[in-house]
Amino acid sequence: MSPVEIQISGFGGQGVVLAGMTIGRGLALFEGYNVSLTQSFGPEARGGACSVQLVVSRDPIFYPYITRPSILVTLSQEAYRKFTPRLQEGKDSILLVEEDLVQPGATPPSARIHAVPAMRLAEELGRKMVLNMVVVGFFAAITGLLQPDSAQRAIGESVPQGTQALNLAAFEKGFDCGTRQLTLPT
């Protein structure tokens, strides 16, 4: 398997880092992948640019940084504008966007684009802060890279004690949304 490069981006306070760490944990601990995770964020505690990069492979990873992600998740318009030009071109590239916060513009013509109303789904659960776990569920459904049981186990180990049920419910909402999109006729 060639390494898969994944980037999750948005702004501070959206749980971008926790989403990336949860996906990485699920892949590394429960699916046997090698995973490298790096992160970058602006100097602001909340509201500044934030990004997590994962390199995922069955083989050893010799270079831990992404060059051109084949899977890009954007949760803010700024992240979309900044990172979409770096999306790998080809039939296997996937762009996931937050439906209400990102208005897609020019994208690589071969990229598969999927939108998730993560903020609205999180609000249905009464907590905007679980939008990141909605995104993890959506990512799992659309990419097929992370199996649901692995993601659920990773969520249980990654989120604060006492919030597991809420975060797992958010995951389910995202996963169901992604599954429905994949079964709709094109």
Residue for token digits 């598969």? 112
pLDDT digits (tens, 9 = 90+) for 17-66: 999 999 999 999 999 999 999 998 765 556 677 999 999 999 999 999 99
Over the stretch 84-122, which tens digit does the pLDDT of each residue have? Answer: 999 998 778 999 999 999 998 877 778 899 999 999 999
Task: Please provide the CATH number assigned to the domain covering 4-181.
Answer: 3.40.920.10
Note the pLDDT of residue 42: 65
Average pLDDT of the chain, as a whole number: 92
d(CA 84, CA 30): 30
Q: Please determine, for residue 12, whether its predicted confidence score (pLDDT) is greater than 90.
A: no
So what's the pLDDT on residue 47?
65
Alpha-carbon 171 to chain mean position: 11
Residue 156: both structure tokens together: 């249980």
% of the chain with per-residue pLDDT over 90? 82
Identity at 76, one-letter amino acid code: S
Band of the pLDDT at 179, cuts 50, 70, 90? Answer: very high
In which band, very low, low, confident or very high, does the pLDDT at 183 lie, cut at 50, 70 and 90? confident
Work out whether strand 71-74 and strand 4-11 pair parallel, antiparallel, or are unpaired. parallel
Q: Which long-range contacts (CB under 8 A, 24 or more apart) does 101-104 make?
A: 101/75, 101/76, 101/77, 102/74, 102/75, 102/76, 102/77, 103/77, 104/80
pLDDT of residue 178: 97
